[in-house]
């Protein structure tokens, strides 16, 4: 199953559980405070996800950095590729 399928499956499970609890007949409903917390739960999850995304973007922005090691490694790869191509007779 792909990652998208997994996420859709999980969301469908959660959503149907929420709908079952929110749309239950009056006799089977959870107690009033719990129900009041339950009804806006999808919006709450959305807001929580938004907060997480915003915090991630902010944190990565604050700790943005040069990648000295990665640059050196990339240069090394380029050198190796050039040497290999030259060995096979390609003129650069």
Task: Return residues touching other proteins (CB under 8 A).
Answer: 32-34, 36-37, 40-41, 43-44, 46-48, 50-52, 54-55, 57-66
Nearer to other proteins, 16 or 36 (CB): 36
Q: Is 39 helix (H, G, I), strand (E, B) or coil?
A: coil
Sequence-ordered list of residues with C-beta below 8 angstroms from that of 82, at least 6 positions apart, any chain = 92
Nearer to other proteins, 33 or 89 (CB): 33
Terminal alpha carbon distance of the chain:
45
Q: Cβ of residue 66: shortest distance to other proteins, in angstroms?
A: 6
């Amino acid at each position: 199953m792909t990652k998208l399928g997994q996420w859709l499956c999980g969301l469908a499970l959660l959503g149907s559980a929420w709908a079952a609890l929110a749309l239950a007949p009056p006799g089977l409903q959870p107690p009033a405070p719990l129900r009041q917390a339950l009804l806006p739960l999808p919006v709450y999850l959305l807001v929580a996800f938004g907060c997480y995304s915003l915090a991630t973007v902010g944190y990565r922005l604050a700790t943005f950095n040069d990648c000295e090691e990665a640059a050196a490694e990339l240069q090394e790869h380029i050198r190796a590729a050039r040497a290999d191509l030259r060995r096979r007779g390609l003129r650069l």
